[in-house]
Structure 1
């Protein structure tokens, strides 16, 4: 049974060979954290060999080299383990449409799926942090005053940073609504609400 709380779910991030599985791009790293009542209780991180070399741009962008990938398990093995990790959990990613496409594609290749629903931390931030100059992960970390040491564009680090931004936004929602626990359903409603109506939705929830 899925947990209905917005602070108990899995936050994930993919590094990939390119922008779209429709163009033949594959996952090269998955990182994820499991939140339970706002606390990270488990982590998942693995490189995966996509069956081909990655470009020098991707090597420079992610720091993941072809040499590193040559000794990694193939995608289908890693994704089978990750599929087990995410069962029974709702899912969050920063720019979720990107990560969802790769998750769906990689799981489809191994005839697997998941039972959770997705939420996007970018869409939520656009409603909750309306004065933020940008909703990129690195800029939100600075905007919210969250300490960070590490490198963006590695999957586990990005997932952990997204989790910090996510819990900070849940705190903001709690403060505005007086709710003891923020339901995942409210998050989904907010991400589909116009910016002008966010205050109204929060006031009436």
Structure 2
């Protein structure tokens, strides 16, 4: 599947780890088909527990808002249907994947797509950026931004713009036609010092000489 046909998603949560009992409180996602936005998903979800004052301040999501929202199980059933058959992208994907896996496990649902990470790709394509936080990269690449980060749908929409900018940057440097999702997954495993050589080989249509190692 092509890298520009994906679902880009973002969770807001009560904390950092579902293993520590933290839960998702909002999900936002954007579906891309051949680089065009074709659908969006956004919902608050009531996890049955209160959020801290820090999370309220950080996200703007209050306990009152959550008390008036659908239960997590209902939202996650809807979201499982939304992502069915699509590959997935998130900024710092390991975080969002943990929460997606945990919330879907609670309702005995799963998904068929693979994950890729725009943060890891940015570390390889935008190596001179001051850091690779989403907000910093939006400014670094000159992408227009008019909203507030730390709400799930807005962060997803900004990640979409960054993802498409990444693909365009790769194509500008190396004319790789119809960049595949698997190509970006391989890119994310390529050591940063080897990225230019690796992309050059992809544009020439040559096989890599050896198995790529994970880079920082």
1:132 maps onto 2:132 in alignment: no
1:48 to 31, 45, 53: 45
**1:200, CA displacement in angstroms?**
1.0
Q: Which runs of 5+ in 1 are unaligned?
A: none
Match of 2:21 in 1: 24
Instruction: Verify the 8 A CA contact 1:174 1:181 in the aligned structure 2.
Output: no
**1:39, CA displacement in angstroms?**
1.2
1:163 maps onto 2:160 in alignment: yes
2:192 to 170, 178, 195: 195
TM-score, length of structure 2 as denominator length: 0.93
Paired with 2:165 and 2:123, the residues of 1 have a C-alpha distance of 14
**1:37, CA displacement in angstroms?**
1.0
Match of 1:79 in 2: 76
After superposition, residues 52-201 of structure 1 pair within 5 angstroms as 52-201=49-198
1:37 maps onto 2:37 in alignment: no
Q: Which runs of 4+ in 1 moved over 2 A?
A: none
CA displacement 1:141-163 (0-9 Å, x = unmatched): 00000011111000000000000
Match of 2:213 in 1: none
Segment of structure 1 superposing worse, 176-185 or 194-203 = 176-185
The Cα RMSD (Å) is 0.6
CA displacement 1:89-132 (0-9 Å, x = unmatched): 00000000000000000000000000000001000000000000
**1:175, CA displacement in angstroms?**
1.3
Aligned residues: 202
Paired with 1:186 and 1:177, the residues of 2 have a C-alpha distance of 13
**1:180, CA displacement in angstroms?**
2.4
